Chain A
Amino acid sequence: GAVVSQHPSWVICKSGTSVKIECRSLDFQATTMFWYRQFPKQSLMLMATSNEGSKATYEQGVEKDKFLINHASLTLSTLTVTSAHPEDSSFYICSARGERGTGGIQYFGAGTRLSVL
Protein backbone atom coordinates (compact mmCIF):
# COMPACT_ATOMS: atom_id res chain seq x y z
CA GLY A 1 0.00 0.00 0.00
CA ALA A 2 0.88 3.67 -0.18
CA VAL A 3 3.05 5.22 2.52
CA VAL A 4 2.07 8.15 4.69
CA SER A 5 4.62 9.57 7.08
CA GLN A 6 3.59 11.51 10.16
CA HIS A 7 5.92 13.40 12.49
CA PRO A 8 6.52 13.66 15.30
CA SER A 9 5.22 10.38 16.66
CA TRP A 10 5.20 11.70 20.19
CA VAL A 11 5.41 15.18 21.67
CA ILE A 12 5.21 16.66 25.15
CA CYS A 13 4.73 20.38 25.51
CA LYS A 14 3.89 22.97 28.10
CA SER A 15 0.46 24.51 28.29
CA GLY A 16 0.20 27.59 26.10
CA THR A 17 2.71 26.53 23.49
CA SER A 18 1.98 25.56 19.89
CA VAL A 19 2.74 22.22 18.32
CA LYS A 20 3.04 21.43 14.64
CA ILE A 21 2.39 17.96 13.23
CA GLU A 22 3.41 17.04 9.70
CA CYS A 23 1.77 14.55 7.40
CA ARG A 24 3.50 13.54 4.19
CA SER A 25 2.52 11.20 1.40
CA LEU A 26 5.78 9.60 0.35
CA ASP A 27 4.98 7.77 -2.84
CA PHE A 28 1.84 9.40 -4.20
CA GLN A 29 0.24 12.78 -4.62
CA ALA A 30 -2.44 13.37 -2.03
CA THR A 31 -5.25 15.48 -3.41
CA THR A 32 -7.01 15.27 -0.07
CA MET A 33 -5.74 14.85 3.46
CA PHE A 34 -7.75 14.23 6.58
CA TRP A 35 -7.00 14.86 10.23
CA TYR A 36 -8.52 12.71 12.96
CA ARG A 37 -8.42 12.70 16.70
CA GLN A 38 -8.65 9.56 18.78
CA PHE A 39 -9.20 9.33 22.52
CA PRO A 40 -8.05 6.22 24.40
CA LYS A 41 -10.05 3.15 23.50
CA GLN A 42 -12.33 5.15 21.27
CA SER A 43 -12.92 5.50 17.58
CA LEU A 44 -11.48 8.07 15.23
CA MET A 45 -13.19 11.44 15.08
CA LEU A 46 -12.76 13.42 11.88
CA MET A 47 -11.51 16.91 12.62
CA ALA A 48 -11.02 18.40 9.19
CA THR A 49 -10.48 17.75 5.51
CA SER A 50 -7.89 19.61 3.51
CA ASN A 51 -7.30 19.90 -0.19
CA GLU A 52 -4.08 21.17 -1.66
CA GLY A 53 -4.10 24.91 -2.10
CA SER A 54 -7.46 25.56 -0.48
CA LYS A 55 -8.80 26.17 2.98
CA ALA A 56 -9.56 23.19 5.16
CA THR A 57 -13.10 22.13 5.89
CA TYR A 58 -13.63 21.66 9.61
CA GLU A 59 -16.16 19.39 11.23
CA GLN A 60 -18.76 20.86 13.51
CA GLY A 61 -17.39 21.60 16.94
CA VAL A 62 -13.75 21.77 15.87
CA GLU A 63 -12.17 25.17 16.50
CA LYS A 64 -10.52 26.51 13.36
CA ASP A 65 -8.32 28.92 15.30
CA LYS A 66 -7.18 26.20 17.67
CA PHE A 67 -6.35 23.62 15.03
CA LEU A 68 -4.70 25.29 12.05
CA ILE A 69 -4.38 23.16 8.96
CA ASN A 70 -2.21 23.92 5.98
CA HIS A 71 -2.07 21.79 2.86
CA ALA A 72 0.74 23.54 1.05
CA SER A 73 1.58 20.88 -1.52
CA LEU A 74 0.29 17.61 -2.89
CA THR A 75 2.50 15.70 -0.48
CA LEU A 76 2.38 17.74 2.73
CA SER A 77 -0.27 18.83 5.19
CA THR A 78 0.37 20.25 8.64
CA LEU A 79 -1.77 20.52 11.73
CA THR A 80 -0.79 23.16 14.28
CA VAL A 81 -2.35 22.97 17.70
CA THR A 82 -2.15 26.55 18.91
CA SER A 83 -1.93 27.52 22.57
CA ALA A 84 -2.24 23.92 23.58
CA HIS A 85 -3.92 23.01 26.85
CA PRO A 86 -4.14 19.70 28.71
CA GLU A 87 -7.55 18.97 27.19
CA ASP A 88 -5.87 18.94 23.77
CA SER A 89 -3.85 15.91 24.81
CA SER A 90 -4.82 13.13 22.45
CA PHE A 91 -3.73 10.89 19.60
CA TYR A 92 -3.84 12.72 16.27
CA ILE A 93 -3.81 10.74 13.02
CA CYS A 94 -3.63 11.97 9.48
CA SER A 95 -4.64 10.20 6.32
CA ALA A 96 -4.03 10.92 2.68
CA ARG A 97 -5.88 10.02 -0.43
CA GLY A 98 -4.74 10.34 -3.99
CA GLU A 99 -6.74 9.68 -7.10
CA ARG A 100 -3.90 7.99 -8.90
CA GLY A 101 -1.95 5.07 -7.62
CA THR A 102 -4.02 4.64 -4.48
CA GLY A 103 -7.40 3.87 -5.99
CA GLY A 104 -8.95 6.63 -3.92
CA ILE A 105 -8.22 4.76 -0.68
CA GLN A 106 -7.25 6.67 2.47
CA TYR A 107 -3.89 5.63 3.84
CA PHE A 108 -2.99 6.58 7.37
CA GLY A 109 0.07 7.89 9.13
CA ALA A 110 1.35 6.31 12.33
CA GLY A 111 -0.20 9.00 14.49
CA THR A 112 1.12 11.61 16.91
CA ARG A 113 0.60 11.29 20.62
CA LEU A 114 0.36 14.77 22.13
CA SER A 115 0.70 15.32 25.86
CA VAL A 116 0.18 18.85 27.14
CA LEU A 117 1.44 19.49 30.66
Chain B
Amino acid sequence: AQKVTQAQTEISVVEKEDVTLDCVYETRDTTYYLFWYKQPPSGELVFLIRRNSFDEQNEISGRYSWNFQKSTSSFNFTITASQVVDSAVYFCALSEAGGRRALTFGSGTRLQVQP
Protein backbone atom coordinates (compact mmCIF):
# COMPACT_ATOMS: atom_id res chain seq x y z
CA ALA B 1 0.00 0.00 0.00
CA GLN B 2 1.11 3.51 -0.72
CA LYS B 3 1.24 6.27 1.82
CA VAL B 4 2.25 9.92 1.78
CA THR B 5 2.96 11.83 4.97
CA GLN B 6 3.08 15.59 5.25
CA ALA B 7 3.82 16.13 8.90
CA GLN B 8 3.51 19.92 8.76
CA THR B 9 -0.16 20.82 9.01
CA GLU B 10 0.30 24.58 8.88
CA ILE B 11 3.25 26.86 8.35
CA SER B 12 3.28 30.61 8.70
CA VAL B 13 6.13 32.73 7.41
CA VAL B 14 6.75 36.36 6.68
CA GLU B 15 7.17 37.46 3.10
CA LYS B 16 10.67 36.93 1.66
CA GLU B 17 11.44 34.11 4.04
CA ASP B 18 12.42 30.72 2.62
CA VAL B 19 10.19 27.81 3.55
CA THR B 20 10.50 24.06 3.08
CA LEU B 21 7.53 21.73 2.93
CA ASP B 22 8.29 18.16 3.89
CA CYS B 23 6.98 15.03 2.20
CA VAL B 24 7.76 11.44 3.13
CA TYR B 25 6.34 8.53 1.20
CA GLU B 26 5.99 4.77 1.41
CA THR B 27 5.63 2.38 -1.49
CA ARG B 28 6.58 -1.14 -2.43
CA ASP B 29 6.86 -0.23 -6.09
CA THR B 30 10.30 0.17 -7.59
CA THR B 31 8.98 2.55 -10.22
CA TYR B 32 6.68 5.34 -9.22
CA TYR B 33 5.97 9.03 -9.64
CA LEU B 34 5.97 11.82 -7.08
CA PHE B 35 4.03 15.05 -7.45
CA TRP B 36 3.42 18.39 -5.84
CA TYR B 37 0.17 20.27 -6.32
CA LYS B 38 -0.87 23.68 -5.05
CA GLN B 39 -4.45 24.39 -3.95
CA PRO B 40 -5.13 28.12 -3.58
CA PRO B 41 -8.29 29.33 -1.78
CA SER B 42 -10.19 29.11 -5.07
CA GLY B 43 -9.99 25.31 -4.77
CA GLU B 44 -8.41 24.27 -8.04
CA LEU B 45 -5.38 22.03 -7.79
CA VAL B 46 -2.47 23.38 -9.78
CA PHE B 47 0.19 20.96 -10.96
CA LEU B 48 3.71 21.98 -9.93
CA ILE B 49 6.02 19.07 -10.62
CA ARG B 50 6.26 15.38 -11.34
CA ARG B 51 9.35 13.34 -10.55
CA ASN B 52 10.12 9.82 -11.76
CA SER B 53 11.56 7.48 -9.13
CA PHE B 54 14.61 6.89 -11.28
CA ASP B 55 15.45 10.56 -11.48
CA GLU B 56 16.94 11.84 -8.25
CA GLN B 57 18.23 15.07 -9.65
CA ASN B 58 17.04 18.10 -7.78
CA GLU B 59 15.00 20.55 -9.76
CA ILE B 60 14.69 24.30 -9.65
CA SER B 61 11.99 26.36 -11.27
CA GLY B 62 12.20 30.03 -10.43
CA ARG B 63 11.65 30.38 -6.69
CA TYR B 64 10.64 26.75 -6.37
CA SER B 65 13.01 23.86 -5.83
CA TRP B 66 12.53 20.20 -5.05
CA ASN B 67 14.82 17.77 -3.27
CA PHE B 68 14.19 14.10 -3.97
CA GLN B 69 16.07 11.64 -1.79
CA LYS B 70 15.24 8.02 -2.38
CA SER B 71 17.38 6.89 0.56
CA THR B 72 15.08 8.69 2.98
CA SER B 73 11.90 8.39 0.84
CA SER B 74 11.50 12.12 0.88
CA PHE B 75 10.47 14.66 -1.72
CA ASN B 76 10.72 18.07 -0.11
CA PHE B 77 9.64 21.35 -1.65
CA THR B 78 11.33 24.68 -0.96
CA ILE B 79 9.99 28.12 -1.80
CA THR B 80 12.65 30.78 -1.79
CA ALA B 81 11.79 34.39 -0.98
CA SER B 82 8.15 33.55 -0.33
CA GLN B 83 5.39 35.87 -1.48
CA VAL B 84 1.83 36.41 -0.30
CA VAL B 85 0.59 34.74 -3.49
CA ASP B 86 2.27 31.55 -2.36
CA SER B 87 -0.34 31.20 0.39
CA ALA B 88 -2.17 27.97 -0.33
CA VAL B 89 -2.43 24.35 0.65
CA TYR B 90 0.29 22.23 -0.88
CA PHE B 91 -0.20 18.55 -1.50
CA CYS B 92 2.44 15.95 -2.12
CA ALA B 93 1.22 12.89 -4.00
CA LEU B 94 2.45 9.52 -5.17
CA SER B 95 1.32 7.28 -8.00
CA GLU B 96 2.29 3.91 -9.34
CA ALA B 97 4.01 3.94 -12.70
CA GLY B 98 1.60 1.50 -14.31
CA GLY B 99 -2.01 0.49 -14.03
CA ARG B 100 -4.49 3.17 -13.08
CA ARG B 101 -1.77 5.47 -11.78
CA ALA B 102 -4.20 6.87 -9.26
CA LEU B 103 -2.77 9.53 -6.97
CA THR B 104 -2.31 8.95 -3.26
CA PHE B 105 -2.29 12.34 -1.58
CA GLY B 106 -0.71 13.49 1.62
CA SER B 107 -2.84 15.42 4.08
CA GLY B 108 -1.53 18.74 2.78
CA THR B 109 0.39 21.61 4.32
CA ARG B 110 -1.31 24.98 4.65
CA LEU B 111 1.19 27.75 3.98
CA GLN B 112 0.37 31.25 5.12
CA VAL B 113 2.70 33.99 3.92
CA GLN B 114 2.25 37.19 5.87
CA PRO B 115 3.06 40.54 4.27
Listed in ascending order, the chain A residues whose CB lies under 8 Å from chain B are 1, 32, 34, 41-44, 46, 49, 57, 91, 93, 95, 97, 103-111, 113
Residue of A43, A44, A109 near B44 (CB, 8 A) is: A109
Cβ–Cβ contact B43 & A91, under 8 A: yes
Cβ–Cβ contact B50 & A105, under 8 A: yes
Q: Does B70 contact A (CB under 8 A)?
A: no
Interface size on B, residues (CB 8 A): 19
Q: Does B102 contact A (CB under 8 A)?
A: yes
Sample (27) of A-B pairs whose CB atoms are under 8 Å apart: A1-B46, A1-B47, A32-B100, A32-B101, A34-B102, A34-B103, A41-B110, A43-B106, A43-B108, A44-B91, A44-B103, A44-B105, A46-B103, A49-B100, A57-B100, A91-B43, A93-B43, A93-B45, A95-B103, A104-B101, A105-B35, A106-B103, A108-B44, A108-B46, A110-B44, A111-B43, A113-B43
Interface residues of B in 75-115 (CB under 8 A from A): 91, 100-103, 105-108, 110
Cβ–Cβ contact A110 & B50, under 8 A: no
Listed in ascending order, the chain B residues whose CB lies under 8 Å from chain A are 35, 37, 42-47, 50, 91, 100-103, 105-108, 110
Cα–Cα, bound, A104→B96 (Å): 12
Question: Shortest Cβ distance from B104 into chain A, in angstroms?
Answer: 8
Question: Shortest Cβ distance from A82 into chain B, in angstroms?
Answer: 24
Task: Please report whether the interface of chain A is mostly helix, strand, loop or mixed according to DSSP.
Answer: strand
Residue of B43, B102, B106 near A49 (CB, 8 A) is: B102
Cβ–Cβ contact A105 & B47, under 8 A: yes
Which residues does chain B contribute within 8 Å of A106, judged by CB atoms? Answer: 47, 103
Contacts A43-B106, A110-B43 aside, 9 further interface pairs with beta carbons under 8 A come to: A34-B103, A43-B107, A44-B45, A49-B102, A57-B100, A97-B101, A104-B101, A108-B47, A111-B43
Counting chain B CB atoms within 10 Å of each CB, which of A44, A46, A105, A113 scores highest?
A44
